Structure 1
Amino acid sequence: MSVFNTDRLAGKTVLITGASAGIGAATSVLFAKTGANLVLLARRAENLKATKEKAEEAYKQFNKDGKILTIEADVTKFSDLDALPEKIKNAGLDIDILVNNAGMVKGTEQVGADADITQMFDTNVLGLIHLTQIFVKQFKAKQAGTIINLGSIAGREPYAGGAIYCATKHALSAFNGSLLRELVNTPIRVIEIQPGMVETEFSVVRFRGDKAKADAVYKGLQPLVAEDIAEEIVWTASRPPHVNIAQLFVLPVNQATPTLNYKK
């Protein structure tokens, strides 16, 4: 038996937040290759459409069948999240796997603008918790389900220039750990993926659109890419039902901590 048994995912339905770009988009395409149904959630409709088209191509390429439901929504708006179950039900789908991928960072200031701080906590923590609570109820009712939360190395070790972002990812990690313990008497799996340096539009957003600054973060080092983390997400989801990868810490080979890395 292959250690990457994607047959277990065929016919399952996966909800992925932040599916319009980066890790979310790559994860959507990789799940499509397994024959999973997709519910793709993001704010940017055009990007979401592009992800859907790539996933549809993946179905064709791997001779898989699957449904795709795209929903334009903002994880910081609870009303958007509360409307999801009805929309998903009306599409004839039932969520088996929740991938909380949406997340963001703005700035490296010691004391950031209140609006940026609020946006980071609303996206990375409050929205994630609210959405998870919605589907935990459903998973408990059917006694099955997998929750995958995208954490970060910033949730393991704080670093200068990341005070608020680190605080949000520490909060996510604490939530994940508590949820794991609270659901120990159920078949529901709770997983946290903690990547190190991943080159996506993440750093461009952090540096407020300054691509040169973002590129400099990875110069001289081969960082992870979105597809690397997508593979880990799909791998954890594809484990046998009695196996839970509670936490997975993933680094590029030349990174050891948030600030210790080797660049040529």
Structure 2
Amino acid sequence: MNVLITGASAGFGKALAERLVANGHRVIGCARRLDKLNALADTLGEAFLPVVMDVSDTASIPQIITDLPDNFKQIDVLVNNAGLALGTEPAQNASLDDWMRMTDTNIKGLMAVTHAVLPAMVARDSGYIINVGSIAGSWPYFGGNVYGATKAFVKQFSLNLRADLIGTQVRVTNLEPGNVAGTEFSNVRYHGDDDKAAKVYDGFKTMTGDDIGDILLWLIESPAHININRLEVMPVAQTYNGLTIAKQDS
């Protein structure tokens, strides 16, 4: 099985690539950082194909897919994993550049890769698209504004893909993780402030990138006649918060 993973150089993508190769699959690992992809290829061998891809450069994606080597050209599974959060400021103080970058990566990039890969899956009547969303797409929180909105798009896009693909054997899942440590997510969100990023995970047992890699592998190797529409996962220490009320002094 050939699996194309965006954002494969770190975090969930790297963890999944390692598990897939160990289980006998081949991986097309896509990311912006060639040095990290090459380091992973040195470890995983010929079953891992490093491909430089910036999903926010949507115009480049069709040619990248077309130029894949013959033995990797058939994409059996697409894991749309590339994505990022930037900033935790309230909307009125947020950076418009951050908003646009999240939109370009989390929405436009995901759409462009899906658009390039999906027709061949439908033509073969076989394939699987897994979109990595977030609980932020369902549950708003302070400072989540545009990040949460992009993940709400990913959730609804996944459900609408399922509706469009009725009558085919192409599967679609939206995986919606909660708090996960051991990735670059919070370091990116806080623009490289490692101290702030570390505090996000203080005081409780959170999930790890390896946990999400295991879940993704389980999805990919699940029976082909089963479609898991949405899968929301959190650490036990995380749950839903009550509605917030700003009380005024009487």
How many pairs does the alignment contain? 240
Deviating 4+ runs (over 6 angstroms):
none
Q: How does 1:43-62 map to 2 (within 5 A)?
A: 43-56=32-45
Alpha-carbon distance in structure 2 between the residues aligned to 1:245 and 1:258: 26
1:143 is aligned to 2:132: no
Shift of 1:54: 3.2
Alpha-carbon distance in structure 2 between the residues aligned to 1:53 and 1:155: 36
Structure-1 residue corresponding to 2:138: 156
Contact persistence 2:21–2:47 (CA under 8 A): no
User: Partner amino acid for 1:117?
Assistant: W
Structure-1 residue corresponding to 2:222: 239
Alpha-carbon distance in structure 1 between the residues aligned to 2:54 and 2:71: 20
Secondary structure in structure 2 of the residue aligned to 1:193: strand
Alpha-carbon distance in structure 2 between the residues aligned to 1:152 and 1:25: 18
Bigger CA drift: 83-92 or 157-166? 83-92
Alpha carbon RMSD of aligned pairs, Å?
1.6
Residues 119-139 of structure 1, C-alpha deviation per residue, up to 9 Å, x if partnerless? 101100111011111111010
Aligned mate of 1:220, from 200, 203, 216: 203
1:115 is aligned to 2:97: yes
Contact persistence 1:236–1:244 (CA under 8 A): no
Secondary structure in structure 1 of the residue aligned to 2:68: helix
Alpha-carbon distance in structure 2 between the residues aligned to 1:183 and 1:38: 24
Shift of 1:229: 0.4
Contact persistence 1:153–1:258 (CA under 8 A): no
Alpha-carbon distance in structure 2 between the residues aligned to 1:164 and 1:239: 33
Identity of counterpart residues, as a percentage?
Answer: 38
Residues 56-108 of structure 1, C-alpha deviation per residue, up to 9 Å, x if partnerless? 3xxxxxxxxx6322111100011321112222244553110000000001111
Alpha-carbon distance in structure 2 between the residues aligned to 1:136 and 1:155: 23
Q: TM-score, normalised by structure 2?
A: 0.92
Q: How does 1:1-264 map to 2 (within 5 A)?
A: 12-56=1-45, 67-90=47-70, 92-111=72-91, 112-199=94-181, 200-257=183-240
Contact persistence 1:151–1:173 (CA under 8 A): yes
**Structure 1 runs not aligned, ≥5 long:** 1-11, 57-65
Secondary structure in structure 2 of the residue aligned to 1:76: coil
Shift of 1:222: 1.0
Contact persistence 2:81–2:131 (CA under 8 A): yes
Contact persistence 1:17–1:102 (CA under 8 A): yes
Secondary structure in structure 1 of the residue aligned to 2:27: strand
Alpha-carbon distance in structure 2 between the residues aligned to 1:257 and 1:43: 34
The 1:258/1:193 distance shift into structure 2, 3 A limit, reads farther
Q: TM-score, normalised by structure 1?
A: 0.87
Alpha-carbon distance in structure 1 between the residues aligned to 2:229 and 2:138: 14
Alpha-carbon distance in structure 2 between the residues aligned to 1:113 and 1:148: 30
**Structure 2 runs not aligned, ≥5 long:** 244-250
